């Protein structure tokens, strides 16, 4: 008859054998391994989960499920705030599926005045956005209508206009003039890229002259202003469109509101430099919600198409 000591020894040996053959039988030690529950609680407390799935609208302060926001073209369903949009998402929203063909992608940023750490900053934005510059240019179809399309990227150095950005926009105008195609530009920019000094300011004249060539060729130029459109971009090609459209509540202007107020020595209206103010004072032709933009562009292109 097996005594109690022998029985305990047999059970212990059997347990060790099972642990050796199958790691699943190994005990979990709380002091060495974080439990899933504790990990989730920690992430929730640090807002990691909130940041992953939800976003707060800066206008109405409501929390919006990110998937709902994407399905609504990044427009707040609560207050209709048009949030900034990734350049590729905007291209996909405007163009027919698979119709966009990028041009001038290979152009590389230059450093004409050897500004300290400029190229390192450019490289970091290239890695961050997977884009080569602050504008993407190409040809596309919008409900079947052919067009040249330029979309500025607010995530690449705030859509600032340097020499290569100016080159790409200029070429887009020239391509439209040569191939008898309309040009559409979606602007989103903080203005000229001052790391390139005077070279960045020269892009204002260059792009404006190119817009004139498109007009001489009898093709329409549609300018779409998105938040924000300011500085040297607003002071050049963005405001030269034959038809100028804006998204709601877009910030539009050259200098900031505080600077303008100090310069003229007067208090400015609350809605100064908004799309609504600009429309009221004749600087815009229309304000269009993002969800209606593609259809609006199609109608304009259809009306102005050349037989």
Which three-class secondary structure state does DSSP give residue 273? Answer: coil
Pairing assessment for the beta strands 252-253 and 221-230 based on DSSP bridges: parallel
pLDDT string in tens for the chain (307-residue length): 455 555 555 655 655 555 554 434 444 444 443 444 444 344 444 444 456 688 888 888 888 888 888 888 888 888 888 888 899 999 999 999 999 999 988 888 999 999 999 999 999 999 999 999 999 999 999 999 999 999 999 999 999 999 999 999 999 999 999 999 999 999 999 999 999 999 999 999 999 999 999 999 999 999 999 999 999 999 999 999 999 999 999 999 998 888 888 888 888 888 899 999 999 999 999 999 999 999 999 999 999 987 5
Rounded-to-integer distance, Cα 29 and Cα 253, Å: 62
CA 136 to chain centre: 11
Among candidate residues 224, 230, 205, the one with its CA nearest the CA of residue 301: 224
Rounded-to-integer distance, Cα 277 and Cα 270, Å: 10
Which token pair is 87?
Answer: 């350049």
Neighbours of 111 (CB within 10 A): 14
Pairing assessment for the beta strands 183-189 and 252-253 based on DSSP bridges: unpaired
End-to-end, the C-alpha distance of the chain in Å comes to 106
Contacts of 185 (CB under 8 A, 6+ apart): 149, 150, 151, 152, 169, 172, 221, 222, 223, 224, 237, 238, 241
What is the rounded (10 degree) CA torsion for 185, 186, 192, 194?
A: -120
Which three-class secondary structure state does DSSP give residue 33? Answer: coil
Do residues 195 and 118 lie in contact, with contact meaning Cβ atoms separated by under 8 Å?
Answer: yes
Among candidate residues 177, 268, 192, the one with its CA nearest the CA of residue 229: 192
Measured over all CA atoms, what is the biggest interatomic distance in the chain, rounded to whole angstroms? 110
Rounded-to-integer distance, Cα 19 and Cα 89, Å: 52
Which token pair is 58?
Answer: 């800066």
pTM: 0.81
């Amino acid at each position: 008859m097996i005594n109690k000591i022998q029985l305990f020894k047999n059970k212990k040996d059997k347990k060790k054998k099972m642990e050796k053959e199958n790691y699943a039988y190994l005990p979990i030690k709380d002091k060495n391994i974080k439990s899933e529950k504790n990990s989730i609680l920690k992430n929730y407390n640090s807002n990691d989960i909130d940041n992953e799935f939800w976003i707060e609208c800066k206008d109405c302060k409501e929390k919006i499920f990110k998937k709902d926001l994407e399905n609504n073209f990044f427009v707040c369903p609560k207050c209709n705030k048009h949030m900034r949009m990734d350049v590729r998402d905007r291209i996909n929203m405007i163009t027919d599926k698979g119709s966009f063909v990028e041009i001038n992608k290979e152009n590389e940023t230059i450093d004409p005045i050897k500004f300290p750490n400029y190229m390192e900053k450019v490289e970091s934005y290239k890695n961050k956005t997977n884009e080569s510059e602050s504008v993407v240019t190409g040809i596309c179809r919008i409900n079947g209508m052919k067009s040249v399309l330029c979309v500025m990227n607010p995530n690449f150095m705030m859509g600032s206009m340097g020499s290569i950005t100016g080159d790409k926009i200029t070429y887009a105008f020239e391509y439209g003039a040569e191939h008898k195609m309309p040009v559409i530009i979606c602007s989103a920019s903080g203005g000229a890229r001052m790391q390139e000094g005077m070279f960045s300011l020269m892009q204002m004249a260059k792009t404006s002259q190119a817009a004139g060539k498109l007009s001489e060729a009898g093709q329409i130029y549609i300018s779409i202003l998105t938040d924000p459109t300011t500085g040297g971009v607003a002071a050049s090609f963005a405001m030269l469109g034959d038809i100028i459209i804006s998204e709601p509540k877009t910030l539009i202007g050259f200098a900031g509101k505080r600077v303008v107020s100090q310069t003229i020595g007067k208090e400015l209206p609350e809605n100064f430099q908004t799309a609504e103010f600009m429309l009221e004072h004749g600087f815009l032709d229309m304000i269009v919600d993002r969800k209606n933009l593609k259809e609006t562009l199609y109608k304009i292109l259809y009306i102005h198409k050349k037989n």
